[in-house]
Structure 1
Amino acid sequence: MDLRLSGRRALITGSTSGLGEATARLLATEGAEVVIHGRSPQRAQAVADAIIEDGGKATVATGDLGTDAGADQAAGQALAGGAVDILVNNAGAYEHLGWADATAEVWLHAYNVNVVSGVRMIQRLVPAMRERDYGRIITIGGGLGTQPFAGHPHYNATLAARHNLAVSLARDLAGTRVTSNIVAPGAILVPAVQDFLTTLAPERGWGETWEEIEHNSVRELVPNDRARYGRPEEIAGAVAYLCGPHAEYLSGATIRVDGGTVRSAF
């Protein structure tokens, strides 16, 4: 399928690694000019250079989206190369903390980094999309926003807020050709997740090889129909679909990419 992204420019926040990088690489393959965002100019440029070497088009925007100044910087650098047609709000962070350890300050920080950061970019980029009567905003949410477990409650709550704001934005954009939708990943295998599971494996008795660890940890922690963790490229595929004209009729929708996960054993 031709996703018809040639000539479009896409800013993917938090795209120096993980889901963001995978999304940027796929959108570039589909013909979009991508703007790689991160707080480190060196890391962002390395991803952009790799995309360019593969024949894609990429530029860089840097800035800490947890601050107004950083968001101004990132948006300004992204717009320096032309209009932004697609905003993928992917940037975010979490800590493995429980209810006893997540202080009020931790909750406030998580909300700023995971929710308000996306609002900042929406406020800076979406008005111009509305004026041009074309745009795509894709928010990366997560299954923990609707099926939270006991661990890191501050992060779970921010995912719920991300889902909510994306639907609210869709309602606000009614009657325009600008859409707002959500991709909700399940447990995705990025390097940090694999490292965490490998470290935890001996005390949980999950085995020694990665194949054993993946099989046993999925069964215990995130049982799903596919019996494995998702891969970043699978999230990128859902995002890419929402970016194109084939998704024109989707508004305020949540696409779950979670292997059919229905519960968490945490």
Structure 2
Amino acid sequence: MNLDLLGKRALITGSSSGLGEATAKLLAAEGATVVIHGRNRDRVEQVAKEIRQSGGTATTALGDLATEDGAAETTRAATAEGPIDILVNNAGFYRHLAWADATPAEWNDTYNVNVVSGVRMIQHLVPAMRERGWGRVVTIGGGLASQPMNTHPQYNATLAARHNLAVSLARELKGTGVTSNVVSPGAILVEATKELVTHIGPDRGWGDTWEEIQPNAVEALIPNDQERFGEPDEIAAAVAYLCSAYAQYISGATIRVDGGLIRSAF
């Protein structure tokens, strides 16, 4: 399927690794010019290099979106060669904390990085999309927005806020040709997920090797119809579709990519 992204410019925040990297590479393969964003110059440049080597077009933008100056610098770099048509708000972080350890300061830091940073980029880039009459904003959310764990509550709450702001933005953009949607991943097998599951697996009796641990972890944590963890490319595919001309009639939606998650437990 041709997603008709040739000539479009896409900024994917937090795209030097993980879901952001997978999304940037797929959008580039579909013809978009992508802007690779992060805070580590070497990692950002490496992803951009890999895209170019594969025949795609990529530029870079460095900046800490948790600060006003960093968001402004990212915007300047991202728009240096033309306006941004597609904004994928992917950047975010969490620390795996119990309620007792999630201090108010931790809540503030997590909210600033995971929510306010995305708002900064929306306010920098969406007005120009509105003026041109075409644009895409895709926010990466997560199933914990509606089925939170008992742990890392500060992170669960920011996912709910990300979902909420994306729908509010869709209402604000009514009739403009700019859409706002959420892609909500389940448990995706990025490096951090594998490290966590491998760390807790032996203590939970799931086994000692990854081959033993993985099926037991899926059954215990994320029982789903596909009986596995998701892959980053599967999230990227959902984002790419929402960025395409085929998705013009989709706005304010949440697309779950979680294998048909049955329940949430931890």
Residue in 2 that maps onto 1:175? 175
Q: What is the aligned partner in structure 1 of residue 265 from structure 2?
A: 265
Q: Which structure 2 residue ranges, 5 or more long, are not aligned? A: none
- Residue 219 (str. 1) matches residue 219 (str. 2): yes
TM-align CA RMSD: 0.7
- 2:110 counterpart of 1:102: no
Distance 1:142 1:164 in 2: 12
Corresponding residue of 1:38: 38
Q: Which residue of 2 aligns with 1:16?
A: 16
- Give CA-to-partner distance per residue, 1:146-172, whole Å, 9 cap, x none: 111101000000000000000000000
| 1:88 alignment counterpart | 88
Give the distance between the partners of 1:230 and 1:111, measured in 2 at CA: 26
The alpha-carbon deviation at position 22 of structure 1 amounts to: 0.2
1:1-266 counterparts in 2 under 5 A?
Answer: 1-266=1-266
Larger mean CA deviation between 190-199 and 134-143 belongs to: 190-199
Q: State the Cα distance separating 1:137 from its structure 2 match.
A: 0.2
SS in 2 for 1:100: helix
Secondary structure (helix, strand or coil) at the match of 2:195 reads helix
- 3-state SS in 1 of match to 2:212: helix
Return the offset for 1:208: 3.1
CA positional deviation for 1:202: 1.4
Pairwise CA distance, 1:138: 0.1
Name the SS for the 2:100 alignment partner: coil
- Displacement of 1:210 in angstroms is 2.1
Identity %: 66
After TM superposition, the score normalised by the length of structure 1 is 0.99
1:143-200, CA deviations, whole angstroms, 9 ceiling, x for partnerless residues?
0001111010000000000000000000000011100000000000001111121122
CA displacement 1:223-266 (0-9 Å, x = unmatched): 11111100000000000000011000001000000011132121
Aligned residues: 266
Residue identity opposite 1:65 in structure 2: L
Per-residue CA shift, 1:38-70, capped at 9, x if unaligned? 011111011000100010000000100000000
Task: Please list the CA deviations of residues 71-116 of structure 1 after superposition, one character each: whole Å capped at 9, or x if unmatched.
Answer: 0000110000111000000000000001110010000111000000
| Cα distance between partner residues in 1 of 2:201 and 2:97 | 19
Gaps in structure 1 of 5+ consecutive residues: none
Q: Distance in 2 between matches of 1:38 and 1:125?
A: 17
* Letter in structure 1 aligned against 2:207: G
* SS of corresponding position for 1:255: strand
